[in-house]
Amino acid sequence: GAVVSQHPSRVICKSGTSVKIECRSLDFQATTMFWYRQFPKQSLMLMATSNEGSKATYEQGVEKDKFLINHASLTLSTLTVTSAHPEDSSFYICSAITTKGGYTFGSGTRLTVV
């Protein structure tokens, strides 16, 4: 139980375009989801917290206009990287708090901006 499906798993996009990443909770309702970014050989850095039906809360230093987060339903949160540039290339991972209070992670999205 408590599965989060994340896709796409890999995406390559051209510089200046936008990319949308989706995370769906399959068997539970995710009131809160978290979005992380991980650069090579570094740890997961929390980007933002999204709560269903309200605006996301961004961590210090994360551009909210560049990383658009939408959590319109209890089972879907999306992260859109707008006007992507090569420095946005990273591994993006979503996480949700389960009904039992634990954390479950999506499988991650490898974004490459060329």
Partner 1 sequence: QKEVEQNSGPLSVPEGAIASLNCTYSDRGSQSFFWYRQYSGKSPELIMSIYSNGDKEDGRFTAQLNKASQYVSLLIRDSQPSDSATYLCAVNKAVGNKLVFGAGTILRVKS
Size of the site for partner 1 (CB under 8 A): 22
Give the span between the Cα atoms of 82 and 43, in whole angstroms: 23
In 3D space, the residue among 113, 114, 110 whose CA is nearest the CA of residue 38 turns out to be: 110
Closer CB to partner 1, 28 or 34, in the complex = 34
By CB under 8 A, residue 61 contacts partner 1: no
Of 81, 97, 111, 113, the residue at the interface with partner 1 (CB under 8 A) is: 97
Strand 109-113 relative to strand 103-105, pairing: unpaired
* Best CA proximity match to 21, nearest among 35, 4, 8, 34: 8
Q: Which of 42, 63, 64, 72 binds partner 1 (CB under 8 A)?
A: 42
Give 28's DSSP letter. Answer: S
Stretch of 17-25, 44-52, 65-73, 78-86 contacting partner 1, by CB under 8 A: 44-52
Give the footprint of partner 1 on this chain (CB under 8 A): 32, 34, 36, 42-46, 49, 57, 91, 93, 95, 97, 101-103, 105-108, 110
